[in-house]
Amino acid sequence: MGSKKTAEKEVDIFDLQSIEGIGKATEEKLASAGITSVLDLAAATPRELMELGISAEKAEEFCLKARLILMESGFLDKEFIPASEVMERRKALQRLTTGSQSLDNMLGGGVETQAITELIGEFGCGKTQICHTLCVTAQLPADERGLEGTAIYIDTEATFRPERISQIAEARGLPPKKILDGIIFANVYNSSHLQLTIKELGRYIEKFKAKLVVVDSIISHFRAEYVGRGTLAERQQRLNDLLHRLLRMAQVHNIAVVVTNQVQANPDQFFGDPNKPSGGHILAHSSTYRIYIRRSANNTRLARIIDSPYHPANAEAYFKITEKGVEDLQEEK
């Protein structure tokens, strides 16, 4: 994707200097934040530019100009679309099996495309194991309730295990090598790196024909880097930006996005579960589906949907983690 010819105007989207007021020095500043094309600039917020030492006035002007260029050249989709098109997009919605029928049922048929599904729970409850399983099932044909695509795995905790993928594939009668080839892996070292990776994601989704993006976990770097109350607002704003990008990506590319989240002690709670999801309201509002997972008796797992507008409150499902990854309890017997 270099330049695109349209009736109106031809534009080289990698030529930032074609925007009035942007010279070599500004271009370099922008590049240092991963903004290397007119598309990046159009998707950036003036605030991001101000962090690079660009004045508020200029920052706003550059972002606006980038959007205008894209609109004039036909690159930018119209922001307003007819409801009939919304309906068409909804029809394209697909569902991905988790490996457990009861978990799928709880989700109304599986993990949905065009949405963010958030897995929440304490360490060892099985979030990473579910993500591994989904990377395998995503590659299944549609009649086996897969998405017939590859998976992109963004790992912030260094817990991705290709050996485990092999094992799950083999136990499901699938060729391990082929399944591993269908998972594109990215290690992410800090929250800025995560932001950059997600900004670039659209390109990789297209390139690898991905149908699933996993971010395991969405919160860990933010929690580690932002300590103390004073920094919370900035942390939440960055998290918000990330989640909006992910949701837009899910909708535009019709892919499933699965993120994991930890729990933190909830000092307000005297009865019931003493934990609550991290990330506060930002995560609660951005995720389409939030699934809370707990370890239960006999090494089984209990999943429960929380705050979903579409599912019955507190819908529950039991499942198990075995050599096949995620599966139903009765399959074991």
Residues that bind ligand GTP (CB under 6 A): 121, 123-129, 157, 159, 164, 262, 321-323
Q: Which residue is nearest to Mg ion (CB)?
A: 128
Q: Could you tell me which of 121, 99, 126 has the C-alpha nearest to residue 110?
A: 99
Distance CA 205, CA 185 (A): 12
Kindly indicate which of the ranges 107-115, 152-160, 162-170, 185-193 contains the residues binding Mg ion, using the contact rule CB under 5 A. Answer: 152-160
Rounded least distance, CB 128 to ligand GTP, Å: 3
In the complex with Mg ion, which residue's Cβ is closer, 44 or 136?
Answer: 136
Residue closer to ligand GTP (CB basis): 189 or 310: 189
Q: For ligand GTP, which is the closer residue by CB, 114 or 262?
A: 262
125 binds, among ligand GTP, Mg ion, none (CB under 5 to 8 A by kind): ligand GTP
Chain centroid offset of residue 114 CA: 10
CB of 132 to ligand GTP, least distance (A): 8
Quote the least distance from Cβ 128 to Mg ion, whole Å.
Answer: 3
**Does 261 engage in binding with Mg ion (CB under 5 A)?**
no
CA distance 59 to 47: 7
* Residue from 128, 261, 262, 287 binding Mg ion (CB under 5 A): 128
CB of 154 to Mg ion, least distance (A): 13
d(CA 105, CA 95): 11
Q: In angstroms, what is the minimal distance from the CB of 126 to Mg ion?
A: 8
Residues of this chain that interact with Mg ion (CB under 5 A) are: 127-128, 159
